[in-house]
């Protein structure tokens, strides 16, 4: 999971370097959309909240979920 977040961060930084900013919401939705199908319940639960967590919180929750499996 940490490798996934490192890859996403690199892509975000690459986009920033060419002047393309990504909002926290876009980042979170991209992360959630890229999770494997086994994470469906986790993804759906987070998407049903009124507030989508920011990058750091989302990363922490994903790592926590990964260790539960």
Provide the domain limits for residue 38: 2-68
Total structural domains within the chain: 1
Of the chain, the percentage scoring pLDDT greater than 90 comes to: 75
pLDDT one-digit tens code per residue, 10-20: 999 999 999 99
Q: Is the pLDDT of residue 52 over 90?
A: no
Predicted confidence (pLDDT) at residue 32 exceeds the cutoff of 90: yes
DSSP letters for 6-65: HHHHHHHHHHHHTT----HHHHHHHHHHTS-GGGHHHHHHHHTSSS---HHHHHHHHHHH
């Amino acid at each position: 999971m940490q490798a996934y977040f490192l890859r996403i961060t690199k892509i975000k930084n690459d986009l920033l370097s060419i002047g393309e900013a990504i909002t926290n919401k876009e980042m979170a939705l991209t992360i959630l959309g890229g999770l494997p199908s086994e994470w469906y319940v986790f993804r759906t639960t987070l998407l049903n909240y009124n507030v989508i967590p920011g990058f750091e919180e989302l990363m922490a929750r994903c790592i926590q979920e990964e260790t539960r499996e």
